[in-house]
Structure formats: structure tokens, C-alpha cells
Amino acid sequence: MEQLLSFIERNTIRLLTHRKALKAYELANKPKRTFIGEVKGWADALVFAVFAVLLINQYIFQLFVIPTPSMDGTLNVGDRVFVSKTIYGIEIYPSGPKMLSSNRNVTRDDIITFYNPEYVSKGPFFDILSQIIYMGTFSLVNIDRNDDGSIAERLYVKRAIGFPSERIRFTDGNIEIRRAGYNDYIDDNSFRTSLDLVDGPHRSIDESLYSGIKAWGSLFGYQESGVDMTSVPSYLKSQYALVQNDNYPDDMYAFETAKNRTKQLFNPADSNARSASAAYQRGIYVPQGSVLPLGDNRDNSRDGRYFGPVSQGKINGSVRFLFWPLNRIRYMGNK
């Protein structure tokens, strides 16, 4: 027993002595701290952190700031949300092809993020740089701006409303859906109630204003057809008085519908006007592999009414959690 204790004591002393000598050597030969060395150390840490953030944003989740009122009531301007980047498959690179996307399609009423079909690129270098800065700062800095200084919307946030083989039409801002395999249209409220969907979508325009909006569109139709405005029916002028102080039609889709219908009626030989008017009357057909996204703030949303259905391949995520402001924190998976 004494031999064992003696053995342990000798080796413990040897180990501690070795460690003490090693530490003394390291202190004696410690490299001097220099300004350049400190900068390099911080730069390495910063590059690693940014790279890690970019990977997280691209392949796991992305922080997103709601830039416009198109989803007001559900998501307000300035709200910050987590967007799942894996739910519909994982993009190999921004706006590129997806992997692990089989049977992982959008489901009805999902709040989705997708690439804006109307986005005007400022060049590949700027596009990449702006995305790196935006994702690398967790959405705090966005250098991608329009000419008027507003944020350029590279990504849109909308609700998935129309699905393959369905046709969606709009009457005075109200939505009607013809489901796949059916001949009749059903109004949006009845459709949503039948499927027990949330009541997020809402209207804000007084229905009484639609006569004025449509009159405004008809007057533009006459004007573009070269008609002497003194020959325009007086009832259109009186209806237009309802909205004559507006700078912009509250419902551009209804305005365009009325404009093209007037041009087609005035000159049936105008094939362009006839085709455009027929398209508005038929509504929007959703092809296979696509969805029709619409904003919850139906009367103030640049959405699928204007740019049409969006391919599921261009949908890059789903809003899952609202984390700012603190008094509105909630899970968004149930819409």
C-alpha cells in the first residue's frame, strides 16, 4: 500500500511540475499583441459570424421585416417574422432550384414568401451584395431601394388563395372561386367558411365607391380611344364625382376592368382591348404547379391579381412566427 501511495505521489509531483514548466514557457514565449494581429483576429471572427448567419438565413430560417400594408391586420408594416426556409424544400442558392422538395407543396391559406415577379434587377453584383447585407444583418440593413427611396420588394409576403385548376375572378373587389371540377363560382366568404379557414382577409373600401371607381376607369377608356370627352355619358361624370378627389384608384383591378371593357365596347374591332377585357371577365386560371397569392388587405395589395399565379418553385418559405413587436408575439403556423 505504501508503495502504491509513493508511486501516486511521485507521478503527481512530476505531472504538476511539468505543467508548471510548460505554463512558464508559454508565458515567456507568448507572442506580442499587435494592432494588426488584433484586427485580423476580429476580422476572422466577423467573417465566420457573417458566414454562419448567411447559411442559417439561406438554409434554415430567415428574419423578414414586413415592408408594406398588403397584409395589414395579419402582419403590419414593421412587424418582424421568422420565415421557415425548409418547409417547401431547401433552395440550393437564392432563387435557385430546390432540393428535398418532393411532396412538400404549399397548402391552402399558408402565408408564403416568394420572389417578386415584377422585381427589376440592378445587376447580379448588387443583387448578391444586397442580399448578403440584408441576411447578414438579420434584416436590419436593406440597401436595395427604389428611386423614391422606398424599400425595393425583392420578396413578397402574401396568402396562398388559388390552387391548381381553380379559376379566381373579382367583382367589385370581392373574390369568387370556381373549384377544380366545378362549374359554379362560390364567393370567398362562403368558400373559407366551408373549409374552416381563418378570417384574416378583409376589405377596407366602401362598396358604394365602386360605381365611382368603375366610372373613372370607363372615362380613361373613352380618353384612350380618342373620344371627345364632351360626348361622354353624363351618368359617368356624376359617378366619377364620388372619387374625383383621389390621386389613385383605390382598386386598380376594378379600374382596369372598366377601362378595357369600355375600350372593347367602343371599338369591337380592337383585338387588344377585346382580349384584355375578356381576360378580366374570365378571371385568373391557376395552372398546375402554381398558386395565386393575394394580400389579406385586399384593397391595398399588389398581388396575384396583377402579376398572375406564382410557380411553387419560386416560393421560398412560409411565415411561422411573429416575434416583434413584443405585444404581438405569436405562432403563425395556424395562420
Strand partners, 155: 115
Active site residue 40: no
Choose the catalytic residue: 70, 84, 277, 318: 70
Choose the catalytic residue: 85, 130, 158, 218: 158
Which triple of cell numbers denotes residue 235? 351618368
Cis peptide before 325 (omega within 30 of 0): yes
CA–CA separation, 278 and 161 (whole Å)? 22
CA–CA separation, 151 and 134 (whole Å)? 12
Contact by Cβ (8 Å): 323, 178: no
Active site residue 23: no
Q: For the chain, how are helix, strand and coil distributed in percent, rounded to 5?
A: 40, 20, 40
CA–CA separation, 309 and 114 (whole Å)? 11
Alpha helices by DSSP H, 32-139: 35-59, 124-136
Provide the annotated active-site residues: 70, 158
